[in-house]
């Protein structure tokens, strides 16, 4: 168990340590479900010496899913809103990455977790064989180890998004789309990124108990 964890951890850490190569970009991807919630009563606006007040009652208006792609060395991220989180949605996300966001790349080195939908096989369930084969050749998957999803920098981006935007009631898909579009535009404009400093050398010291004696 530890050997598998260490192998996948060091593989991802080696990837993060490589210099930027536009032909072989390193892109972290992840997804998260979100609830859509609406206010039952209209919130009371902010007043002098009084914060905006929100009633405790709310109405569930549905759910949605957010995909994120994060390229740390380019300080770039892209979010996509979908109604569901299925193999078909993931396949369409891969096609969008390959053909729209990274059309010039020879191969996209994708860091992702081991969710059951995260397989290149999903391409063959959605597209014809020739198209699925073309898209599959554009990707190289690098899985984070089980219980090691913290190695995926996309999770850190999602954490920032939650703190800055999602700790509020968002009533509809349209409102969610407006919110995430503004957030990604602002962070991309500011060239905000994550300075990853955890290396293989650090892992062998700080996580020494995972390595054989």
The per-residue pLDDT for range 125-149, each reduced to its tens digit, is: 999 999 999 999 999 999 999 989 9
Q: Which secondary-structure segment (H or E) carries 92?
A: helix 87-96
pLDDT digits (tens, 9 = 90+) for 33-68: 999 987 555 655 666 766 655 655 667 889 999 999
Predicted confidence at residue 38, as pLDDT, reads 77
What distance in Å separates the CA atoms of residue 130 and residue 124, rounded to the nearest whole number? 9
Report, as an integer, the average pLDDT of 10-30. 97
How far, in Å, are 49, 103, 183 from residue 153 at the CA level? 39, 22, 17
Question: In the chain, where are the structural domains located?
Answer: 2-40+59-201
Predicted confidence at residue 211, as pLDDT, reads 87
Instruction: Please check the confidence at residue 103 and state whether its pLDDT lies above 80.
Output: yes
Predicted confidence at residue 116, as pLDDT, reads 87
**SS3 label, residue 61:** strand
Concatenating the DSSP letter of every residue in 152-181 gives -HHHHHHHHHIIIIISS---SHHHHHHHHH
Report, as an integer, the average pLDDT of 105-133. 96
The pLDDT confidence band at residue 169, using thresholds 50, 70 and 90, is confident
2-40+59-201 classified as CATH 3.30.420.10: yes
């Amino acid at each position: 168990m530890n050997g598998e964890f260490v192998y996948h951890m060091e593989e991802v850490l080696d990837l993060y340590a490589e210099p930027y190569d536009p032909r072989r970009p390193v892109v972290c991807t992840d997804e998260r479900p979100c609830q859509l919630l609406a206010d039952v009563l209209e919130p009371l606006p902010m007043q002098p010496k009084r914060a905006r007040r929100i009633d405790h009652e709310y109405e569930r208006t549905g759910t949605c899913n957010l995909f994120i792609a994060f390229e740390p060395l380019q300080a770039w991220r892209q979010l996509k809103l979908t109604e569901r989180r299925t193999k078909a949605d993931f396949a369409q996300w891969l096609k969008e990455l390959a053909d729209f966001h990274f059309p010039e790349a020879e191969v996209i080195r994708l860091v992702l977790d081991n969710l059951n939908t995260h397989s290149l096989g999903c391409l063959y369930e959605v597209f014809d064989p020739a198209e699925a084969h073309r898209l599959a050749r554009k990707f190289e998957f690098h899985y984070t180890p089980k219980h090691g999803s913290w190695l995926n920098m996309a999770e850190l981006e999602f954490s920032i998004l939650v703190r800055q935007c999602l700790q509020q009631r968002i009533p509809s898909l349209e409102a969610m789309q407006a919110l995430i579009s503004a957030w990604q535009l602002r962070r991309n404009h500011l060239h905000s990124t994550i300075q990853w400093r955890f290396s293989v050398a650090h892992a062998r010291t700080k996580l020494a108990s995972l390595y054989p004696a």
